[in-house]
Amino acid sequence: MKKNGFTMIELLAAISIMAILAIVAIPGFLELYRNAIKNTFNDELNIIIRTAGQKYVLNWGTPQTFSNNDNPLELTDNDIEYCISINATGQVTEFKAKNTKFQYDKTGVITQTYPDDIDNLTDGFVVSCS
């Protein structure tokens, strides 16, 4: 008699191996996904810094504060709430931003943002410049 398939033991062994591989692999993929989202947020923050610097130059070096609600930057497809201040010498001195997952809050001279400076969003985080 010919054997035309797999035995139940063979099927259970294959399913068990696939389940073990999935248990090991899924956390790694989730971490990769989370890092990609964080790096995208970081890239968008750097775009905001560059755009604010360009607006500073276009306005003849006038100190300014830009935010979503007051004096917004012309950014497309941006779900980030932000507030960024530029002093008379063109340096970013305060930058706060958040999206649905992350927040960024830094004062002092800021030339670019780094993923290590980005925190998970906390309840009550308010985006406003002083």
Give domain status of residue 25, yes or no. yes
pTM: 0.80
Q: How far is 97 from 85, CA to CA, in rounded Å?
A: 12
Task: DSSP letter for 60, please.
Answer: T
* pLDDT value of position 2: 61
Q: Is residue 1 part of a domain?
A: no
Residue 61: inside a domain: yes
Mean predicted confidence (pLDDT) in 12-30: 92
- Asked if pLDDT for residue 66 goes beyond 80, the answer is yes
Give how many domains the chain has, as a whole number. 1
Task: Decide if 129 is inside a domain.
Answer: no
Q: Which domain range does residue 51 map to?
A: 8-120
User: Has residue 130 been placed in a domain?
Assistant: no
Any domain includes 103: yes
Chain segment 36-46, per-residue pLDDT in tens: 999 999 999 99
- Residue 126 belongs to some domain of the structure: no
Question: Is residue 110 domain-resident?
Answer: yes
- The Cα 68–Cα 82 span in angstroms is 6
